[in-house]
């Protein structure tokens, strides 16, 4: 029962967030759903209270406000737009501004209406960001300053002392300034965390030695291209390749030179593959190459080109020079294959190339 309620609450709070995976936007949507719901309930309850006090104008304004808050939430829920959040948040802000201006103009209950205005700065800045939020607050400030300081209180249906008006404006400016600083720090902190998160995400998908994709990064690319190939009926070919007798390089020249060979081979692969291709260091001296929009015949041409480039490259160690070669196993993915099956098939062909004498491509 409790878990069901938690799931229902989570679905409710995330209403209208299915179009985005941006955590900042999702957070704004959650807050907006909470605020519009609470605003709808509070204004409706106060409206009912004023109804029994025979204050029909206040009652009408509060019921209309409650209805507009409900509309803001329903815009999110109905998902009539690809990105409903700007429409619902703007409707909610405009509604708030109008209601607050009305409370200042009428004074509300016992002239306490202006006290509600202090919720405006944090809401405007949170939903609109600093630039848009300050513009909205500036326009709202201009409206309420006009209401308060128009000669002879002509635009007001209540009376405030000049001292109250000035203190109210000063305090509202102070609150606005404080929340602007807070919002600036919050946005800056979020940006820094986002950059760090992207860096960690990038590092998590990269092999630190070669700079190529690691297994995780390659699997993401494979899954994407595999789905696309099924959708577009296009071909994909995999090349599993392995440096021949790499252990002897480490034994003769040391592991540092072995690392240099891996980095050089990685760079040669990258320089001679197409932009749409993806290459990963699959493990040790093994590489996996993903060739989208490529059948087996074209894959063999690419593989032979890469094999020839590697075998002709000359490595140096002190006064010595040496070469290395690669063996390659190719496999064109069929529509009935799983990704793991395709990788295994390419790997089996690689072992065949090794068994047949190395430095060759087998498909």
- Provide the annotated active-site residues: 285
From the list 111, 87, 100, the residue with the least C-alpha distance to 39 is 100
Give the span between the Cα atoms of 257 and 287, in whole angstroms: 18
Question: Is beta strand 286-292 parallel, antiparallel or unpaired with respect to 278-283?
Answer: antiparallel
Return the number of other C-beta atoms located less than 10 Å from residue 353's C-beta.
Answer: 25
Q: Which residues of 8-37 are buried (b: 16+ CB within 10 A; e: fewer)?
A: eeeeebebbbeeeeeeeebebbbebbebbb
List CB contacts of 25: < 8 A, sequence separation 6 or more: 17, 85
- Reduce the DSSP state of residue 332 to 3 states and report it: strand
User: What are the structure tokens assigned to 105, written together?
Assistant: 């103009």
Q: Tell me how far CA of residue 46 lies from CA of 100, 113, 189, 321, in angstroms.
A: 15, 13, 38, 87
| CA-based nearest residue to 310, from 353, 271, 337, 351 | 271
Angle between helices 215-232 and 339-355 (to 10 degrees): 110
Q: Cα separation of 235 and 291, whole Å?
A: 9
State the Cα–Cα distance between residues 319 and 154, nearest whole angstrom.
96
Q: Rounded to whole angstroms, how far apart are CA atoms 292 and 119? A: 54
Residues in the chain: 363
Please give the Cα distance from 310 to 266 (Å, whole number).
10
């Amino acid at each position: 029962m409790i878990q069901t309620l938690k799931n229902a609450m989570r679905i409710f709070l995330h209403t209208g967030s299915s179009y985005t995976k941006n955590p900042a936007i999702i957070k704004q949507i959650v807050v907006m759903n909470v605020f519009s719901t609470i605003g709808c309930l509070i204004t409706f309850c106060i409206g009912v209270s004023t109804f029994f006090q025979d204050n029909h104008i206040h009652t009408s304004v509060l019921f209309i406000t409650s209805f507009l808050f409900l509309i803001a939430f329903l815009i999110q829920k109905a998902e009539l737009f690809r990105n409903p959040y700007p429409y619902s948040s703007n409707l909610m802000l405009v509604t708030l501004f109008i209601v607050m201006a009305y409370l200042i103009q009428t004074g509300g209950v016992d002239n306490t209406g202006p006290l509600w205005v202090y919720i405006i700065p944090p809401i405007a800045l949170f939903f609109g960001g600093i630039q848009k939020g300050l513009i909205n607050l500036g326009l709202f400030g201009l409206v309420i300053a006009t209401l308060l300081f128009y000669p002879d209180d002509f635009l007001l249906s209540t009376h405030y002392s000049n001292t109250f008006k000035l203190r109210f404006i000063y305090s509202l400016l102070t609150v606005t300034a404080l929340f602007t600083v807070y919002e600036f720090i919050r946005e800056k902190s979020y940006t820094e965390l986002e950059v760090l998160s992207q860096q960690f995400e990038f590092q998590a998908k990269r092999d630190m030695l070669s700079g190529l994709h690691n297994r995780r990064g390659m699997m993401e690319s494979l899954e994407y291209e595999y789905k696309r190939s099924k959708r577009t009926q296009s071909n994909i070919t995999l090349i599993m390749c392995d440096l021949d007798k790499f252990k002897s390089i480490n034994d003769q020249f040391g592991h540092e030179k072995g690392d240099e060979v891996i980095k050089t081979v990685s760079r040669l692969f990258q320089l001679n593959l197409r932009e749409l291709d993806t290459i990963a260091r699959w493990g040790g001296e093994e590489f996996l190459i993903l060739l989208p929009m490529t059948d087996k015949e074209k894959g063999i041409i690419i593989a032979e080109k890469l094999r020839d480039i590697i075998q002709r490259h000359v490595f140096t160690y002190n006064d010595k020079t040496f070469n290395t070669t690669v063996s390659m196993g190719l496999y064109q993915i069929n529509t009935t294959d799983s990704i793991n099956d395709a990788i295994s098939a390419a790997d089996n062909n690689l072992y065949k190339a090794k068994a047949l004498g190395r430095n060759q491509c087998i498909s």
